[in-house]
Amino acid sequence: MVDPTLDSEAVLHRFNRLMQELLEGSFRRNAFRPWEVELLLDIEACDLGGANRREILRRYQKAVQRHMERGGTAPLKLSEYLSRLRARREGRKRAPAHP
């Protein structure tokens, strides 16, 4: 997915720039790396309509930053992030209450 010539720091920088432009609602460029297009398409497919779209995207950005700091070589897709959130929430619901 990610260009192998880029190190994780460069990938994270490009990801943060992409997220900033997305949150601002305007892109200042017209050329994107294939992995950036893939992330944008995934974000669009997640259909984040609603008032909390910006908040979800900010939390997603922070999760990707943590993922990359822990040694990830490519950003998580938003669909992966949302899936992990759902699984974690469901795990909490199923866990017995501690005394």
Predicted confidence at residue 51, as pLDDT, reads: 80
Q: What DSSP string describes 27-88?
A: -S-S---HHHHHHHHHHHHT---STTHHHHHHHHHHHHHHHHHTT-SSPPPHHHHHHHHHHH
The pTM of the full predicted model, rounded to 2 decimals, is 0.84
Kindly state whether residue 88 falls inside one of the protein's structural domains: yes
Instruction: State residue 89's pLDDT score.
Output: 85
Domain that holds residue 48: 8-94
Over the stretch 39-59, which tens digit does the pLDDT of each residue have? 999 999 998 887 899 999 999
Query: pLDDT, tens digit, for every residue of 12-41?
Result: 999 999 999 999 989 989 999 999 999 999
- The verdict on residue 37 lying in a domain is yes
In which band, very low, low, confident or very high, does the pLDDT at 5 lie, cut at 50, 70 and 90?
Answer: low
**In whole angstroms, how far apart are CA 56 and each of 7, 9, 24, 53?**
26, 23, 14, 5
**Total structural domains in the chain?**
1
Per the domain annotation, does 69 fall within a domain? yes
81 assigned to some structural domain: yes
Assess if residue 2 is contained within a domain: no
